[in-house]
């Protein structure tokens, strides 16, 4: 693990969050609010349960869990007893919980042999090309099976719920900065370099790869639907 690979990991991490926000924004415009909430029910449940599990691990008292409140799901909790890393782990928990759920879907539908992997030491554009090629190959291999579309529905619901909310990011902001700086320092000063590289490449890298793959697949479908609806709405006005 070197600095360029570490910063590539950070960029992909940011892209994973950004893709999820874009999906959420597009779907809010495609579906009526109630229909949209129903569409991503599975994702909402996994998102909030991820926060709750992280609260237990970080020893933060949970006061209330809401999945279907008018303003959205929420886990109301007290401050974590584990300092510094407690808040960012709770705030970022959906990234890992939703990605693990996606991984479970791959095994449930027996698509695990199609899981790609991002090589953080390779060029950014080479990884982008590989990711979208994996998306196209995945479609070509399974699009004629009805189980693929069921898998895609479950995956879309989860993929749209991967990103932490703006409140989560705000609460965890300084903790996230601390972890990013700590990771940079460990890599720069070569402290536990092999351990950091193993965590990023074998574990966190798999989470990012899986999340980015599914978000890419869903974006390929969502963007044309969004523009078609926009065109139909514009023509209806005339």
Q: What is the pTM of this model?
A: 0.77
pLDDT per residue as tens digits for the range 165-216: 777 777 777 777 887 888 888 887 877 667 777 777 766 777 777 777 777 7
Residue environment code for 62-95, b if the CB has 16+ CB neighbours within 10 A, otherwise e: eeebeeeeeeebbbebeebeeeebbbbbbbbbbb
Which range has the top average pLDDT, 49-63, 105-119, 127-141, 196-210? 49-63
Cβ contacts of residue 199 below 8 Å, gap of 6+? none
pLDDT per residue as tens digits for the range 220-233: 778 888 888 778 77
Asked if 210 and 115 count as a contact pair (C-beta separation under 8 A), the reply is yes
**Residue 76: beta bridge partners?**
64
Asked if 57 and 89 count as a contact pair (C-beta separation under 8 A), the reply is yes
**Residue 75: beta bridge partners?**
65
CA distance 222 to 201: 30
């Amino acid at each position: 693990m070197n600095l360029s690979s570490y910063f590539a990991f950070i960029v992909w991490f940011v892209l994973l969050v950004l893709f999820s926000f874009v999906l959420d924004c597009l779907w809010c415009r495609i579906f009526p609010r109630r229909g949209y909430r129903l569409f991503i029910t599975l994702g909402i449940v996994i998102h909030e349960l991820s926060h709750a599990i992280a609260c237990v691990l970080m020893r933060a008292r949970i006061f209330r869990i809401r999945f279907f409140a008018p303003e959205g799901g929420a886990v109301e909790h007290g401050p974590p007893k584990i300092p510094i890393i407690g808040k960012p782990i709770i705030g970022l928990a959906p990234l890992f919980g939703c990605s693990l759920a996606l991984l479970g879907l791959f095994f449930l539908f027996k698509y695990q042999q199609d899981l790609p992997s991002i090589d953080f030491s390779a060029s950014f554009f080479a990884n982008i090309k590989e990711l979208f090629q994996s998306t196209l190959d995945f479609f070509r291999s399974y699009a004629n099976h009805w189980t693929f579309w069921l898998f895609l529905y479950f995956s879309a619901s989860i993929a749209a719920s991967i990103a932490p909310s703006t409140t989560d990011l705000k609460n965890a902001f300084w903790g996230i900065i601390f972890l990013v700086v700590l990771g940079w320092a460990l890599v720069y000063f070569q402290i536990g370099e092999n351990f950091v590289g193993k965590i990023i490449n074998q574990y966190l890298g798999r989470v990012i790869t899986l999340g980015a793959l599914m978000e890419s697949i869903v974006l390929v479908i969502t963007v044309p639907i969004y523009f078609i609806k926009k065109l139909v709405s514009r023509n209806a006005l005339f």
